[in-house]
Amino acid sequence: MRTNRLAAAAVLATALAAAGCGASEPTQPAPAAQPQSSAPAAPAAPVKLTYWTWAPNMDKIVKVWNDKNPDIQVTVSKQAGGDDAAAKFLTAAKAGNPPQLVQAEYQHLPSFVAADAVADLSAQAAPVKGEFSEGLWRLVTLGTEGVYGVPQDSGPMMLYYRKDLFEKYGIEVPKTWDDYAAAARKVREQDKNVFLGTFSSKDPGSFAGLSQQAGGQWWSIAGEAWKVAINDQATTKVADYWGKLVDEGAIDDMPYFTPEWNKALNDGKLLTWPSAVWAPGVLEANAPKAKGKWAAAPLPQWSAGENASGFWGGSAVAVSAKATPDEKAGAAAFISWLNTDPEAVQLLVKEAFIYPASTKGTQSLTTPPAYFDTQADFWQQAAQAAATARGFTFGPNVNAAYTAYKDAFDKALANKSSFTGALKTMQDATVADMQKSGFTVAQ
């Protein structure tokens, strides 16, 4: 039965969209008790919605909406972010008491869809489709006819580097990954305490972004079955590359976001960080002393003349499948406003420190982040990275794949074994987990 819920959902959505062609009624049939005349955008009784999110200061942004829309009142409940939030939402959905609105990282959305936990908003969210790039919109449709959320933020990747220390060690900004490797060796020759970069075995999101850049496609839907190709050629190339650098000691192997890493950034012991557009906030908080010394450049390429990037992070706002039609309509109106209205997007940038998904929102960014105030073209760089970033389809068990990544690469670092082997372990664990959950996986 669970062979391919995504495909089934897509077929269902198409049928419903065809049936309700031109009408603005919600796709779900309203219960008999609901008055037929109530328009979806303005329900008779005030709708109360709970919104699980981890974006900072979201309460302030929601207050602006609540003041203007007495009929649709949203309450923010701030949760722990990332994987925890996804697991908690899935559990709540299974137990039958999920919030109506939930922030969902793009990689977790497919697991929500597979569990029938989020509503298809193809009818309500259609008007805002044009506000987002094709690539981002694909992340909320999962390549189907359905729409399972409205994009909020995105994380195109760039290479962040210490300008001042690059000058000190006589390094050019690397254009290709080969340049990057050469620079890494050059740094080590001059100073044994300094590394050009580090490979983090704790951040599968970063590795996924680098694999996207190389052209990896970890999951795809082939007819009735899922295809898993985590150890495809492109990703193997990425894993090999970093494995070799770690093995010869050209780069460090400490994980990101640890006190040790913070200290290295502060002390100038780490010169680069291939990271996403949200890096300035992290650097500002964790390495405040180096303000103005970092700069952003395009990610190094696999061959000269290419121009590609990947995504690390980013999220959408989804609506629970358990929400009533009135709640769904109100929720769709709210998330459309939140992520496309110029005032709301401005607030998201200013208060929640996100890089907005809305195309107009990214264009409205002019003043570089305070930490990068010496780089006037920061947002142009970001826009270019966003335009060239390759995404990929995420599968329904990203959690399992990411856990396997951490285990396998941790072990590879500890045993000094090959990264290709770790990648194979990750692939096998992901396939096994999908089969155990009842998905058909094409070999």
Site string for other proteins, 347-386 (x = CB under 8 A): ------xx--------------------------------
C-alpha separations of 49 from 32, 42, 56, 66, 398 in Å: 22, 14, 19, 11, 28
E runs forming strands in 277-365: 294-297, 309-319
Name the amino acid, one letter, at 320: S
Give the three-class secondary structure for 19.
helix
- The string of DSSP letters for 96-151 reads T---SEEEEETTTHHHHHHTT-B---HHHHGGGGGGS-HHHHHHHHTTSS----EE
Round to whole Å and give the CA distance between 302 and 43.
53
Return d(Cα 387, Cα 308) in angstroms, integer.
9
- In the complex, minimum distance from the CB of residue 411 to other proteins, in angstroms, rounded to a whole number: 23
User: Quick check: 305 binds other proteins (CB under 8 A)?
Assistant: no
Give 268 or 421: the residue with its C-beta nearer to other proteins. 268
Q: Which of 44, 285, 414, 432 binds other proteins (CB under 8 A)?
A: 285
Task: For residue 99, state whether it binds other proteins (rule: CB under 8 A).
Answer: yes
Helix (H, G, I), strand (E, B) or coil at 437: coil
Q: Confirm or reject binding of residue 406 to other proteins (CB under 8 A).
A: no
Binding residue for other proteins, selected from 12, 64, 82, 411, defined by CB under 8 A: 82
Which listed residue (91, 363, 380, 435) binds other proteins by CB under 8 A? Answer: 91
Which listed residue (59, 179, 410, 428) binds other proteins by CB under 8 A? Answer: 59
- Establish if 81 lies at the interface with other proteins (CB under 8 A): yes
Residue 77 vs 363, nearer CB to other proteins: 77
Q: Which residue, 165, 133, 161, 156, is CA-closest to 209?
A: 156
Under DSSP, is residue 160 helix (H, G, I), strand (E, B) or coil? strand
Q: Does 403 bind other proteins (CB under 8 A)?
A: no
Task: Kindly tell me which of 80 and 414 has the beta carbon lying closer to other proteins.
Answer: 80
Binding site for other proteins (CB under 8 A): 50, 52, 54-56, 59, 76-82, 84-85, 88, 91-92, 95-97, 99, 105, 153, 155, 203, 205, 257, 259, 262-263, 265-267, 276, 278, 281-282, 284-289, 312-315, 353-354
